[in-house]
C-alpha cells in the first residue's frame, strides 16, 4: 500500500478563491491525507466554517481549527478590511465568500468556544509536528500569524516536520506579496532562520497560473463530486463579487508541489523580509550580499520556486478536481 502524503494546511480561505480550490485539490488526490486544517487572519471562525462545509459536505472527517485573528504584534479587526467584503444579516462585514448557511451549528470548528484567539490551532500544529514527524508537510497558504505563534511557543516544532511549504513572497521580483504583507512581523519571524526546512512558492511562478476564460468556465459549471460542486459555487460567488476577474491558482500550485515536487524548478537562496520603509513586506534575496552586510540580520536559507510547468499543472488540476479528461 502506497504511503500517504500527510499535510497539515494553514489557510485564510474565504477571500481569494484559490484557498478553497487548493483544499478541493487535496480532497481529490488519493495520495493525500489531511491531518487537519487551521485558519488564520481576521474572522478565522467564518473561515473555518467555510472549510468545514467544504470538507464535511464531501463526506470527509477532517479536524478544522480556527486560528489567530490578528497579527503577532498589531491587532486586526475581525469584521472589517476584507477584500471585497460583504455585509451579513448581522450588520457586520464578512469575507468575500461568506454565505449565511455557514453559521449553521454543524459547520462550527473544533475550538469554536475560543472565538478569534486560536491558541488551540497553534497547539494542534505543534502536536502534529511531533506526532507525525518527517511524515508531515506543513503547508501555509495564508498570512503567517499561526506559524509565527508556533515558532514563539516551540521554536523547534516545525523542524520536526518533513518540510514547511508556503505560498508567499516574491523571490525573483521586488513585490510585497499579500500573505507576507498581512503580518510582516510574523513573516520576519518565519524568515529569521528558525525554520530549517522552508520551501517557498512565490508570486514569481504562481502568477503564471491565472486561468484562461475556458478554464474558468469548466470550474463555474461543474456538476459531480459534492465538494467540487461547492468549490464551483464559490468560484461563481468570487467572480461575481470581483467583477468577473479570472482566478489565479496561487495556493493550488503550492499544494500540488507537495504532491509532485517536479512541477517546479527550485533555487536555494538566503531571504530576508523588509520590515520598515517603502519596501515593507518585500522578501529580499540577500544571497549575494557581503557577509558583513548580513551580520546580525534576520534571514533564512530556503528553497524558492523559479519555474513552473503551467500546462501540465492546469491539466492535472482540472482532471483531479473537475473530472476533465
Q: Give residue-wise pLDDT tens across range 268-279.
A: 999 999 999 999
pLDDT tens column, 35-90: 999 999 999 999 999 999 999 999 999 999 999 998 999 888 888 888 888 899 99
Residue, of 296 and 57, whose pLDDT is higher: 57
- Domains of the chain and CATH, by start: 5-322 (3.90.245.10)
**Which grid coordinates are listed for 120?**
488551540
Percent share of the chain, pLDDT over 70: 98
pLDDT tens column, 200-215: 999 999 999 999 999 9
- Confidence band for 1, pLDDT divided at 50, 70 and 90: low
Amino acid at each position: 500500500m502506497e504511503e500517504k502524503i500527510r499535510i497539515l494546511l494553514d489557510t485564510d480561505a474565504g477571500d481569494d478563491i484559490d484557498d478553497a480550490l487548493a483544499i478541493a485539490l487535496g480532497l481529490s488526490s488519493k495520495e493525500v491525507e489531511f491531518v487537519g486544517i487551521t485558519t488564520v487572519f481576521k474572522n478565522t471562525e467564518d473561515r473555518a466554517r467555510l472549510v468545514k462545509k467544504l470538507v464535511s459536505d464531501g463526506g470527509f472527517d477532517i479536524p478544522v481549527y480556527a486560528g489567530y485573528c490578528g497579527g503577532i504584534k498589531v491587532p486586526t479587526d475581525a469584521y472589517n478590511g476584507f477584500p471585497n467584503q460583504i455585509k451579513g444579516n448581522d450588520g457586520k462585514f464578512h469575507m468575500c465568500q461568506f454565505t449565511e448557511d455557514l453559521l449553521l451549528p454543524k459547520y462550527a470548528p473544533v475550538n469554536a468556544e475560543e472565538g478569534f484567539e486560536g491558541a488551540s490551532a497553534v497547539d494542534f500544529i505543534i502536536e502534529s509536528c511531533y506526532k507525525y514527524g518527517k511524515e508531515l508537510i506543513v503547508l501555509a497558504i495564508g498570512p503567517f500569524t499561526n506559524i509565527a505563534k508556533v515558532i514563539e511557543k516551540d521554536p523547534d516544532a516545525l523542524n520536526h516536520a518533513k518540510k514547511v511549504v508556503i505560498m508567499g513572497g516574491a523571490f525573483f521580483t521586488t513585490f510585497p506579496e499579500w500573505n507576507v504583507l498581512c503580518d510582516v512581523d510574523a513573516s520576519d519571524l518565519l524568515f529569521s532562520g528558525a525554520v530549517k526546512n522552508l520551501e517557498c512558492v512565490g508570486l514569481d511562478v504562481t502568477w503564471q497560473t491565472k486561468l484562461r476564460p475556458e478554464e474558468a468556465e469548466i470550474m463555474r459549471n461543474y456538476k459531480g463530486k459534492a465538494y467540487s460542486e461547492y468549490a464551483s459555487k464559490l468560484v461563481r460567488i468570487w467572480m461575481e463579487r470581483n467583477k468577473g476577474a479570472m482566478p489565479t491558482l496561487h495556493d493550488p500550485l503550492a499544494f500540488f508541489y507537495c504532491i509532485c515536487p517536479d512541477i517546479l524548478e527550485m533555487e536555494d537562496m538566503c531571504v530576508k523580509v523588509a520590515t520598515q520603509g517603502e519596501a515593507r513586506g518585500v522578501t529580499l534575496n540577500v544571497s549575494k550580499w557581503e557577509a558583513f552586510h548580513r551580520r546580525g540580520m534576520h534571514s533564512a536559507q530556503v528553497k524558492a520556486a523559479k519555474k513552473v510547468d503551467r500546462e501540465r499543472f492546469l491539466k492535472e488540476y482540472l482532471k483531479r478536481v473537475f473530472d476533465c479528461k
